[in-house]
Chains A and B, each alone.
Chain A
C-alpha cells in the first residue's frame, strides 16, 4: 500500500488520537457519572452561559426594533383582549335576581339589552379562551436563538444572525451527533443489561443489579438530552406498593422520573424498537405491559394493577393520568381509573422551563421522530421535579374527588393552572365554577373525542408509556 500524500499516516494518526480522546472524554464526563449518579456540574455551567447569551440577543433585537419604531411582537400569554372582572356566573345571578325591590311578585327581571352581555362574553371566549391556549406551545418573552421560537426575525442584525448561525452549527454538528451516540449507548445498554440480569436467579442480587442497570441507562438517556433536572423534596419519593402520579408534557417525562427512582412501568405492548425494549425490561423486573386488546377492558386493567400494588415487594407504578400531552402550563383533568385502585398515591409535579427547549409534544403536529429530533437539537431541557407528600383516598370521597384533589396539589406545586373540564354533562362529574346546574343541560350530544380528558366521555384508560 503506497501513500498518496506524505501526510497520510499523520492524518490517520491524528484521527485515531482525536477519536480516542473524544471517547475517553465521553466516558469520563458522561457515562461514568451516569453509572454512579454523580454530576460534575458541567450542564449547570452550560445553562448559565446560555442564559447570558439569550439576554444579550433579546436586547439587540429590542434595540433593532426601536430603531424602526416598531414594537416587538410578544404574544401575551395573559390574553388577547381586555376582560372585565365579573364572571359569567355572577352576571347570570344578577339577571335572575328574584325578590328584587322592583318586582313584588318575585319575578326575575329581564331587559332586551340583557342579551348584549352574553353576546359579548361569547365573542370574548371565541377570541381568547383558557383551554385552547393550553394546547399550543407556551410562548417566550425572550428569544433563545432557536428559529422555531422567533416571531421577530425582521429585527435581527448581522451580529445576531452570525450568532444564530454559530448556534445552529453547534447544535446540529456537535451536540446532535453526541446526543444520538449517547442515546444509542443508553438504549442498547438497557436492552443488553436487562436481558443479562434476567438470566440470574430471582433474589436480592438480581433486584440490586436490575435497579442499577435501569438507573444507569436512564441517566445516560438524560444526559443524551442534556436534561438539567432539579429534584425537590426527595424524601417523599414513591415507595413499594404505591402509585406514582405525575402531570404529562412529553414522552421524556418517563425518563426524567425513572432516572431518579426505580419504578414499574405501565403501558401497552408496542412493536418495533419499543417492543424490544419492553420485552427486555420485563425480564429483569416486573413491569406491567398490556396487550392491545386488554387495554379496553377496564376491569382487567384495574385487576392487574391492584394485584401489583398489593404485592409489597413490587415496585411503585408510574402513571400519567391526564391522558394527553398538555403544554405544561396547566393540568387537565385526571382520569379516575388509577385512583380507584385504593393504593397510596404519590403525586409528582414536573415543570419544564421553556427557555432552553420546549419539551411539549404536540402530537397532532409532529410525529415521534420529528419530536425527538427537535429535542435533540434544542439547547437543553431544563425542568424541576417536586415530590409531593403521599395522599390516600378518604372514606367519604369517591375516585373523582380524590383525583381532583391530587390534581390540585400537583398544579399548585408546579405553578400550573388547574383546569376543570367544562364540557361534560352537569351532575356527573365535578364541574368548572361557571357551569352550574341552573344553566340547564348542555346542548347536543357528547361525541367521542370531543373531550379528551373527561371521565364520562371515554373509557378511562391509563396513559401508556410512549
Chain B
C-alpha cells in the first residue's frame, strides 16, 4: 500500500541517528522527507548542486559557506546522517539535555559550545583554528556588501579583530571568539524550532 510510507523504520539507521542528534521521531521524519525532496534525482545523497538549487539560499550572503559546512573534508556527497548531523546544531536547547547529561558521553550537537564552534567554522575558512584578519575581511565583505567602501571595510575589520583579540596575535582564536560572545544568547539565535 502506498509508495510514500513514512515510518522511522524506513529511515536507514533511524534509531542511531536519533540517538546521535537528539531529534524526535516526528522531526526526523520531516527532515527525511525534506532530504528526499531536495534529492531531485533520487540518488540517495545530496550534492552541492542540490543545495545550490534552493533559491532562498543563493540570496543569503553566507549561502556558499553554509553549503560548505555540509561537505567537510572535501566530500562531494552528504547522506541523510551527515545532513541531519549539521542540522542538529540548530536544535533548540531543552533543559533535559543539560541537566541529566552523562559527563562521559560526548556533548550533544546542539550544546552552546557546538553551536559556537559551528559559527566559528563559517568564519575560519582554512580551518587553522584562528580567524585571521583576512578571513574576517572576507566575511565582512560578503555580509556588509557593496555599499561600503574598501577603507571602511578595513577599519571595521580592524576594530572587530582588536576588540576580540586578547593575546595580540592579530587573529581571533576559538576561545577569544567564545569569550567575546559570552553574554550573547547563542542558544536562541542559533536555534530553529521544528513544528509538531
Give the distance in Å from the alpha carbon of A121 to the alpha carbon of B192 in the complex.
Answer: 9
Give the distance in Å from the alpha carbon of A412 to the alpha carbon of B28 in the complex.
Answer: 35
Contact of A147 among B1, B33, B177 (CB under 8 A): B1
B-side contacts of A125, CB under 8 Å: 54, 56-57, 60
B163 smallest CB distance to A (angstroms): 8
Assuming the contacts A113-B181, A148-B2, asked whether A132 and B54 have C-beta atoms less than 8 A apart, the reply is yes
A-side contacts of B177, CB under 8 Å: 112
A133 smallest CB distance to B (angstroms): 7
Interface size on B, residues (CB 8 A): 65
A-side contacts of B55, CB under 8 Å: 129, 131, 421-423, 432
Give the distance in Å from the alpha carbon of A121 to the alpha carbon of B191 in the complex.
Answer: 10
Assuming the contacts A115-B139, A122-B66, A123-B66, asked whether A444 and B144 have C-beta atoms less than 8 A apart, the reply is no
B184 touches A (CB below 8 Å): yes
Contact A82 B193 (CB under 8 A): yes
Contact A118 B147 (CB under 8 A): no
Contact A127 B57 (CB under 8 A): no
B-side contacts of A131, CB under 8 Å: 54-56
Assuming the contacts A95-B143, A132-B37, asked whether A121 and B60 have C-beta atoms less than 8 A apart, the reply is yes
The A-B contact count (CB < 8 A) is 174
Assuming the contacts A117-B189, A120-B190, asked whether A110 and B156 have C-beta atoms less than 8 A apart, the reply is yes
Restricting to A59-115, which residues have a CB under 8 Å from any CB of B?
71, 73, 75-76, 78-82, 88, 92, 95-96, 98, 107-108, 110-115
A73 smallest CB distance to B (angstroms): 6
Q: Beta-carbon contacts of B36-66 to A below 8 Å, as 1s and 0s? A: 0110110000000001111111111111101
B-side contacts of A297, CB under 8 Å: none
B76 touches A (CB below 8 Å): no
B-side contacts of A113, CB under 8 Å: 181, 184, 189
In the complex, what residue of chain B is closest to A152 when comparing beta carbons?
A: B6
Q: Beta-carbon contacts of B1-35 to A below 8 Å, as 1s and 0s? A: 11111110000000000000000001001110110
Q: Beta-carbon contacts of B179-196 to A below 8 Å, as 1s and 0s? A: 011001010011111111
Interface size on A, residues (CB 8 A): 63
A191 smallest CB distance to B (angstroms): 35
Contact B147 A450 (CB under 8 A): no
B175 smallest CB distance to A (angstroms): 14
Contact B6 A151 (CB under 8 A): yes
Q: A interface vs B, CB < 8 Å? A: 71, 73, 75-76, 78-82, 88, 92, 95-96, 98, 107-108, 110-133, 135-136, 147-148, 150-151, 153-154, 364, 421-423, 432, 434-435, 437-440, 442-444, 450
In the complex, 21 of the A-B residue pairs with CB atoms within 8 angstroms, ordered by the A residue number, are: A80-B31, A82-B192, A95-B143, A107-B155, A107-B156, A108-B148, A115-B123, A115-B139, A119-B62, A119-B122, A122-B66, A125-B56, A125-B57, A125-B60, A127-B31, A151-B2, A151-B5, A153-B2, A154-B7, A364-B41, A444-B64
Given contacts A112-B180, A125-B54, 5 further A-B contacts (CB under 8 A): A107-B155, A115-B122, A120-B190, A126-B66, A148-B3
